[in-house]
Amino acid sequence: MKEPFGRLVGSVSSRYYSRLLLAILFSPLLPAANAGVTVTVQETINGVSISASGSLNLSGLTRETNVFYAEPRIRPLEPDFTLGPASEMVEDVGDTYRVSDGDSIITPGTFGTGAPTTATSGTGSVFGLSLGVNPKLIQVPDDYTSGSPIIATARFDGATIASLGMTPGTYVWSWGSGGTAESITMYIGQSPPPVVDNTAAKAKLQKKIKKLKKQVKVAKRKKQVAKAKKLLKKAKKLTKKLRKL
């Protein structure tokens, strides 16, 4: 009676640990939370430079319409800004998405009291935020897909942050929740926090997890259930740590 029962327990344990091992195996491959887009406003020798970089997750947002004309500009009081090169009339240069159909977007309000100002020039692709309208809109490059890089700039020659009516500080616009959570962060007259390079730390953890997974397989083959469980627990802990980097 003991042998069939032992085989049954071993079979159940094997299936359980196999599933757990697979979960740990693929957990590091899951996408990390998106960092959103960072917009930096800085004074230069020639004037004011605004640059945007990053990527957006548009999941959950509704596509509104195409952008047939783009002009790099700012409207601090709206608030509203568009970056990228100026386009000709009736030229499909981007798309707009509704951030919300009401006021669900979390917004710091205006980023200054200045009047609308057109930039001297802009580069990259069209990118902007229009909150002075309803529905509130995000402008992205034409045929943009979530996760693709966004790079856009605008230059205001001879201007200062004060003359543009922009108030120095950090401004964050955010929306969504869970897997659709996203944000745009603007730094006016400030430098964004340095990006920490965790490449080496991630590689070290991945190596440890890989080694533990091999040890788990060996323990399972030897039917060392307690040892396999202990190793899996350790691997799971390291996997959680890896995902936080």
Inside any domain, residue 175: yes
Does 140 share its domain with 210? no
The per-residue pLDDT string of the chain (245 residues; one tens digit each, 9 = 90 and over) reads: 444 433 433 444 555 555 555 555 555 444 444 569 999 999 999 999 999 999 999 887 888 877 666 789 999 998 999 999 887 654 566 788 887 654 467 888 899 999 999 999 999 999 999 887 777 888 998 889 998 999 999 999 999 999 999 999 999 998 888 778 899 999 999 877 766 666 777 778 788 888 888 888 888 888 888 888 888 888 888 787 777 66
Inside any domain, residue 14: no
Cα dihedral 78/81/82/83 (nearest 10): 170
Tell me the helix, strand and coil percentages in the chain, rounded to 5.
Answer: 30, 30, 40
Inside any domain, residue 30: no
- Of 188, 212, 227, the position where a domain reaches its end is 188
Q: Residue 110: which domain range?
A: 37-188
Q: Measured at the alpha carbon of residue 37, what is the angle toward residues 66 and 165, in degrees to the nearest 5?
A: 85
Inside any domain, residue 25: no
Does 43 share its domain with 111? yes
Does 91 share its domain with 207? no
pTM of the model: 0.67
Does 97 share its domain with 217? no
**Taking a C-beta distance cutoff of 8 angstroms, is the pair 72, 121 a contact?**
yes
- Of 140, 167, 188, the position where a domain reaches its end is 188
